């Protein structure tokens, strides 16, 4: 009897399950087309539920629809690693013990690799860590242009050239999103300074907007298929970027066909009606400064909360606005939080450490490598047998550089300092002197270092340098406030903490100096011609020490190339050249007076040589280029041309070279830069090995944006394809004509 009852019960359960499955809503069925799922879920939601999805419910989450089983979204700061857990409703850290991660190199370093394959590996590792931490969106990558060397967040971006940033951002996005974690490309757009970032109004020509500042964002949306975009803090032509009719409705969603979510930077919304009408989808962090401040307002007081609901009910804004926002958010949820096929992720693995180290090694740029005194060979790589006493000087050799900097601050499971990396190779030959002390300085809270302490540290380092065979100086900036840090631009181009004086005094007693600069910005170098070897080493994250030591020792041949120009002096930069109204503005408005001449475009066109040009970087080997060959000297608009060049490693060690293609328009209706980057390839060559590099040229690479016609134009005429090892080191030219 009991057996029959059990069988009957099982049969009823099976029929019930079949009935439930037959009635499963479309939005819960992953096998249904995503747009059908979006529309089905939308049809089941109340107006209040739709509105709730468009604003935050905590510092880093936004609501789903609990009644329908639709989960909330969890957002997380990046773009160099998954930030430690923040409390539900404050900026304080939650002090978890299981949120230590891999700190990856800053995006300036990633850009300096000029290696799209590494960008994909970086994104994939970052996405896996975000997924493991149950994050749905990582707030990165950053692709604002490096307009000038004072911007506090330049270290989070990919340099001064829109083509380089466009090529490097796409694989990053694809790598992250294959883990079922969305990227949020930021800060859209013209957030090119931190000073007055919350309200400064940027005036810019259409041409500069389309040629320089928009392309990386377009690449992120169109080629990378990124699922979210973060709006900028600043205004653009009088409207805040987070609810800007031109930027969001006309360009992003209409022209580019973006089907994802626009999210504010934290505190970036300022008006309910504009937010409703002009393209914003999710409002986060309102009534804060985006970093530290709190308010008495609750989440229902947000612009897209109760005030928005009231406008919808009164008819002041149309219902179609909330349906569009909710549809985009649902699409994001189905791609991330309700995607049952996404992997589980992983965190702080040896594989991720290897990615961080490799990016660091390939991103380090060798700026200078000269012999010391009358010696015939360059100082680097360091031959351990030649040195018994190696003095490491500089607080950055031992200081954690994953802390500070604002929202990109990280909590790494492991952080190998430059000092530790060098000790691992050179052992007890290494001694250390701090030389200077920076203290901590965040958002105006400054730790004061007395003059007596400063003098004492400098004197100790100089005294030890007299007795050393070699000095390795590890200095630069350090992500303090008003150095490389969110919410404050740099106030000087020179090195802080009297480092220039320290460097000069060490050189006076010991000219055998290797300098490795840790920064995300160019710095002034008054001692440049007296330091035999200089590395630009960025902020390298968890594996910083290993990457630096491997390059210095020669275990790795440096192959990084600068993603931005180093001006000799600050006034040589195009944005700074035009004075206050160009940067930083008058506190209300600013105008980009250098227009399209950003970075090397300015230096080359205006004949103002940079100290170190865009695309520059030395190697421990020698590369020789053949004369470039072009497939045709007359190019029709419907055709493509190819440019071929052979590159040979004529040195004694293996190395990687970045072969760069620039295009020069010899005559045009509108002024153009002397040359523009339109292609690059990184080739790996053994000693004596030769490879052929092929570039394809289409009329698109020859075009400029005509702001009178509001379209891209390729004019007939003479062009040159320039093959170079940097923007100024041109190895060969091939002339051709575009004919209609």
Query: Are the CB atoms for 667 and 718 separated by under 8 Å?
Result: yes
The pLDDT value recorded for residue 3 is 46
Other C-beta atoms closer than 10 Å to the C-beta of 267 total 20
For residue 544, what is the enclosing H or E element?
helix 544-553
Assigned token pair, 165:
């940033």
With helix as H, strand as E and coil as C, how does 174-209 read?
Answer: HHHHCCCCEEEEEEECCCCCCCCCCCCEEECCHHHH
What is the C-alpha separation between 149 and 326, in angstroms, rounded? 40
Residues 284-307 have pLDDT tens digits of 999 887 788 777 789 999 999 999
Mean pLDDT of 642-670: 97
Query: Are the CB atoms for 394 and 633 separated by under 8 Å?
Result: no
Residues 246-293 have pLDDT tens digits of 999 999 999 999 999 999 999 999 999 999 999 999 999 998 877 887
The pLDDT value recorded for residue 543 is 98
The pLDDT value recorded for residue 26 is 96
pLDDT at residue 469 greater than cutoff 50: yes
Angle at 74 between CA 68 and CA 79, to 5 degrees: 150
Query: Are the CB atoms for 649 and 623 separated by under 8 Å?
Result: yes
Residues 658-694 have pLDDT tens digits of 999 999 999 999 999 999 999 999 999 999 999 999 9
Other C-beta atoms closer than 10 Å to the C-beta of 416 total 22
Residue 640 is given by DSSP the state -
Residues 451-464 have pLDDT tens digits of 999 999 999 999 99
Query: Are the CB atoms for 154 and 195 separated by under 8 Å?
Result: no
Least reliable range by pLDDT among 17-21, 470-474, 518-522: 17-21
| Reported pTM | 0.95
Residues 51-92 have pLDDT tens digits of 999 999 999 999 999 999 999 999 999 999 999 999 999 999
The bridge status of strand 655-665 relative to strand 676-685 is: antiparallel
pLDDT at residue 15 greater than cutoff 60: no
The pLDDT value recorded for residue 444 is 64
Share of the chain above pLDDT 70, in %: 97
- Higher per-residue confidence, 711 vs 24: 711
Is 77 catalytic? The answer is no
pLDDT band (50, 70, 90) for residue 95: very high
- The burial of 666, by beta-carbon neighbours within 10 Å (0-12 exposed, 13-18 middle, 19 or more buried), is given as exposed
The pLDDT value recorded for residue 18 is 35
Residue located via tokens 């930030």: 83
The pLDDT value recorded for residue 287 is 87
The pLDDT value recorded for residue 488 is 94
Residues 421-455 have pLDDT tens digits of 999 999 999 999 999 999 887 766 778 899 999 99
Closest CA to 251 of 224, 283, 213: 213
With helix as H, strand as E and coil as C, how does 406-472 read?
Answer: CCCCCCECCCCCHHHHHHHHHHHHEEEECCCCCCCEECCEECCCCHHHHHHHHHHHHHHHHCCCEEE
Mean pLDDT of 7-36: 65
What is the C-alpha separation between 304 and 323, in angstroms, rounded? 13
Q: In what order do the strands lie in the sheet with 717-724?
A: 634-635, 730-738, 717-724, 655-665, 676-685
Mean pLDDT in the chain? 95
Angle at 452 between CA 450 and CA 454, to 5 degrees: 70
pLDDT at residue 627 greater than cutoff 80: yes
Residues 210-248 have pLDDT tens digits of 999 999 999 999 999 999 999 999 999 999 999 999 999
Question: Which is catalytic among the residues 124, 136, 265, 595?
Answer: 265
pLDDT at residue 125 greater than cutoff 50: yes
Mean pLDDT of 326-340: 98
All structural domains of the chain, each given as residue ranges with its CATH number in brackets, are 35-335 (3.20.20.300), 364-564 (3.40.50.1700), 621-738 (2.60.40.10)
**For residues 108, 105, 163 and 725, what is the CA-based torsion angle, rounded to 10 degrees?**
80
Buried b (16+ CB within 10 A) or exposed e, 726-739: bbbebbeebebebe
The pLDDT value recorded for residue 11 is 42
């Amino acid at each position: 009897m009991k057996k029959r009852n059990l069988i009957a019960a099982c049969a009823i359960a099976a029929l019930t399950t079949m009935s439930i499955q037959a009635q499963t809503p479309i939005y819960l069925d992953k096998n249904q087309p995503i747009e059908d799922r979006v529309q089905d879920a939308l049809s089941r939601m109340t107006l209040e539920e739709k509105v709730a999805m468009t604003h935050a419910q905590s510092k880093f989450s936004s609501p789903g629809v609990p009644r329908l089983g639709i989960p909330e979204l969890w957002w997380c700061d990046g773009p160099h690693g998954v930030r430690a857990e923040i409390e539900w409703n404050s900026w304080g850290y939650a002090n978890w013990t299981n949120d230590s991660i891999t700190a990856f190199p800053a995006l300036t370093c990633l850009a300096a690799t000029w290696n799209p394959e590494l960008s994909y590996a970086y994104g994939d590792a970052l996405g896996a860590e975000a997924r493991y931490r149950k994050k749905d969106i990582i707030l990165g990558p950053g692709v604002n242009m490096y307009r000038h060397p004072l911007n506090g967040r330049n270290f989070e971006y990919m340099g001064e050239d829109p083509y380089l940033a466009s090529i490097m951002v796409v694989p990053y996005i694809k790598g992250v999103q294959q883990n079922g974690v969305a990227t949020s490309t930021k800060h859209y757009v013209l957030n090119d300074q931190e000073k007055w970032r919350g309200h400064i109004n940027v005036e810019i020509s259409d041409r500069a907007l389309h040629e320089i500042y928009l392309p990386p964002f377009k690449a992120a949306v169109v080629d990378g298929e990124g699922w979210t975009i973060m709006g900028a803090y600043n205004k653009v032509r009088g409207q805040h970027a987070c609810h800007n009719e031109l930027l969001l409705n006309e360009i992003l969603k209409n022209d580019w066909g973006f089907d994802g979510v626009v999210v504010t930077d934290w505190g970036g919304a300022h008006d309910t009606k504009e937010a409703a009408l002009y393209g914003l989808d999710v409002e986060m962090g309102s009534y804060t400064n985006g970093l530290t401040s709190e308010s008495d307002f609750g989440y229902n007081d947000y612009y897209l909360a109760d005030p928005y609901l009231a406008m919808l009910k009164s008819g002041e804004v149309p219902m179609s606005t909330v349906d569009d926002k909710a549809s985009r958010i649902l699409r994001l949820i189905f791609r991330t939080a309700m995607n049952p096929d996404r992997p589980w992720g992983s965190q702080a693995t040896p594989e991720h450490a290897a990615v961080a180290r490799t990016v660091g090694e390939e991103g380090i740029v060798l700026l200078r490598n000269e012999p010391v005194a009358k010696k015939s060979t360059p100082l680097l790589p360091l031959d351990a047998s030649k040195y018994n006493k190696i003095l490491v000087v500089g607080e950055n050799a031992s200081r954690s550089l994953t802390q500070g900097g604002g929202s990109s601050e990280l909590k790494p499971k492991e952080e190998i300092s430059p000092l530790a990396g060098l000790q691992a190779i050179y052992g007890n030959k290494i001694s250390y002197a701090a030389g200077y002390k920076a203290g901590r300085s965040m958002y105006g809270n400054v730790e004061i270092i007395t003059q007596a302490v400063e003098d004492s540290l400098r004197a100790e380092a100089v005294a030890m340098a007299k007795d050393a065979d070699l000095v390795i100086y590890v200095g630069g900036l350090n992500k303090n406030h008003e150095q490389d840090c969110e919410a404050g631009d740099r106030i000087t181009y020179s090195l802080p903490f009297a480092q220039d004086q320290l460097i000069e005094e060490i050189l006076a007693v010991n000219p055998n100096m290797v300098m490795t600069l840790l920064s995300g910005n160019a710095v002034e170098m008054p001692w440049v011609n007296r330091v035999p070897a200089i590395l630009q080493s960025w902020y390298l994250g968890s594996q910083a020490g290993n990457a630096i030591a491997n390059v210095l020792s020669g275990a790795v041949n440096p192959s990084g190339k600068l993603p931005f120009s180093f001006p000799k002096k600050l006034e040589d930069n195009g944005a700074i050249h035009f004075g206050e109204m160009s940067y930083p503005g008058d506190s209300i408005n600013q105008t980009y007076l250098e227009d399209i001449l950003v970075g090397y475009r300015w230096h080359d066109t205006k004949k103002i040589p940079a100290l170190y040009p865009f695309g520059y970087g030395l190697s421990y080997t020698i590369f020789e280029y053949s004369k470039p060959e072009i497939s045709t000297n007359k190019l029709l608009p419907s055709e493509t041309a190819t440019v071929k060049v052979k590159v040979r490693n004529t040195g004694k060690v293996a190395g990687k070279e970045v072969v760069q293609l620039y295009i020069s328009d010899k005559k045009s209706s509108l002024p153009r830069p002397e040359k523009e980057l339109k292609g690059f390839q990184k080739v790996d060559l053994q000693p004596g090995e030769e490879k052929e590099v092929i570039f394809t040229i289409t009329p698109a690479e020859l075009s400029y944006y005509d702001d009178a016609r509001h379209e891209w134009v390729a004019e007939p005429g003479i062009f040159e394809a320039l093959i170079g090892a940097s923007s100024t080191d041109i190895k060969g030219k091939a002339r051709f004509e575009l004919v209609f």
